[in-house]
Structure 1
């Protein structure tokens, strides 16, 4: 396979977005309290570090496979609206992309299974939800954003599943990525044609709810609020200015920039959650994924 053809298949996986999925896992480990043992080499740190690797690999497979399948199912539509994409441009074949997507999803589930059976079950659920969104959910006005949000919820819970017993306590945290990603999905529907002001205002409201929910965690978890505040300030700086510009103009390009900023900001959402549970130092560890994602976003499309 030529370098240009390999690059085309890599484009299908949205590498910058994949890094945001890794942040879900890392935040989940912070919720589970695993990072404390990993960075101090405490009891069981070797196993936790290995599981961190398996779950990170798992989410890479799940996310990359899921978004690549999206292009497979959208090939005909992209031929009209986005002919420059890998499949309609002929740089990647539809059959080849489908096989790659399927294999990546299998890798994701198998990698999660190396941690425990509950992790494998969650990974399988995320894979099914991703394909359901690609084929059906994205065409649904209300269920579509929820479908996509559930993929992210499952991804955060996949990180928490490193200690399965904690899932029964912390599963409601899945609402945070669900609402945030549902907002992104809702906003993104104006990326081609624009003129979706109601959806933009809805997304703005949902972003505010997410910030409020994360800000409430330190109150319930006895973490100093100041450790979370800088992360929430950075999140607000990343998502609100481009969204407000999009609301004012209804320009598809500005809507696209707003979506791109929000997708990358998923790392900041996860860093905020990590800081709320494990302190600012762990939040910084998760935030270190941000420059990697931003660098990849300059080389690969995010949406």
Structure 2
């Protein structure tokens, strides 16, 4: 009898873990640190020294902020999800809605505190701003143009968060080409969010086309940065090669979604575009050095692996 109770307890524990992993979109969490590493790479490209402990702390803060955002997203969307995505943790009853709300808020606060402790007041300010944008998107802005821009801005701020790992350099010291990169990332994610807005019901071809335009904009951004910066040939090869891989990977998912826009094609396209941001970050990071690009790409392994077990979008 004791043995059967232990098995039941283990089964309950696994189910609870799976529920909370789904709530925070665990594969997506590994797409957050690459943004921070890209920010660090942009500062390193100016010749300034990066604090590795600070950068690591900011990466952890980024994960906490992302997890808080996805958790609050489901908290606010519980009634809609009950109709459109009943399998999600809250409508399925696996996670109480109130618990999700408390957890989401705690994760946002934790992200800000970790950033502050890791890299000081400037990092804390970036993280606090990011937390506010996330909360506004989840609770108020979702579903309209302001919401799409807010989601994109959150990713751009995540990149800027990484710049706080610079030992002496400030974000204001970055060159124009470096400051343009978070903007490109933000626009790309804003357009992907536009496509994702009605992924569970009906999606217009125009929304898929907008995401495809975001992909092209991102690739052009990499090429423009290469031309502007004129890095060594090996960095050019890495940046262009990764940009090409990003284009092919997202294109293979967006093609079927455009041809037949329905949940079983648009949903995977959204997931692919989110995970592919890691490759885009790596392409931009390659301009600062191959080592930076490889450090970013490492996060693609757990992200893709876990996406086979948990939903991304």
TM-score normalised by length of structure 2:
0.89
In the other structure, the counterpart of 1:180 is: 188
Moved more, 184-193 or 86-95: 184-193
Match of 2:143 in 1: 139
2:32 and 2:97 mapped to 1: Cα distance? 25
| Alpha-carbon distance in 2 for matches of 1:154, 1:195 | 28
Aligned to 1:286: 296
| 1:62 Cα deviation after fit | 0.4
- Partner in structure 2 of residue 165 of structure 1: 169
Q: Is the 8 A contact 2:27 2:310 kept in 1?
A: yes
CA contact (8 A) 2:69 2:108 kept: yes
Contact map agreement 1:69 1:134 (CA 8 A) in 2:
yes
Match of 1:242 among 253, 260, 278: 253
| CA distance in 1 between partners of 2:139 and 2:79 (Å) | 13
The answer as to whether partners of 1:118 and 1:161 remain within 8 angstroms in 2 is: yes
d(CA) in 1 for partners of 2:291, 2:55: 18
Report the alpha carbon displacement of residue 156 of structure 1 after superposing the two structures with TM. 0.3
2-structure distance, mates of 1:267, 1:247: 23
Asked whether 1:63 is paired with 2:66, we answer yes
Secondary structure in 1 aligned to 2:90? coil
Q: Using a 3 Å threshold, how does the CA distance of structure 1 residues 121 and 263 change in structure 2: closer, same or farther?
A: same
CA 1:33–1:206: 2 relative to 1, 3 Å:
same
Distance 1:298-1:220 versus aligned 2 partners, 3 A rule: same
SS of match in other structure, 1:139 = coil
Q: Tell me the equivalent position of 2:112.
A: 109
Q: Which residue of 2 aligns with 1:275?
A: 286
Correspondence 1:182-221 to 2 at 5 A: 182-221=190-229
Task: Assess, with a 3 A threshold, how the Cα gap between structure 1 residues 62 and 264 changes in structure 2: closer, same or farther.
Answer: same
- Tell me if the contact between 1:35 and 1:282 (Cα under 8 Å) persists in the aligned partners: no
Q: 1:27 Cα deviation (Å)?
A: 1.1
CA contact (8 A) 2:36 2:59 kept: yes
Distance 1:35 1:26, change over 3 A: farther
Q: Deviations over 1:13-51 (max 9, x none)?
A: 1111110011101111111118999xxxxxx77xx1211
Aligned mate of 1:302, from 271, 293, 312 = 312
Bigger CA radius of gyration: 2
Instruction: Note if 1:12 corresponds to 2:23.
Output: yes
Aligned residues of 1:190 and 1:255 also touching (Cα < 8 A): no
Unmatched runs of 5 consecutive residues or more in structure 2: 1-8
Would you say how many aligned residue pairs link Structure 1 and Structure 2? 293
Query: Which secondary structure does the structure 1 equivalent of 2:30 belong to?
Result: helix
Deviates most, 223-232 or 82-91: 223-232
1:288 & 1:65 partners in 2: Cα distance? 23
- 5+ residue gaps, structure 1, are 38-43
Aligned 1:74-113 pairs, distance under 5 A = 74-113=77-116
Structure 1 equivalent of residue 267 of structure 2: 256
Indicate the SS of the match to 2:142: helix
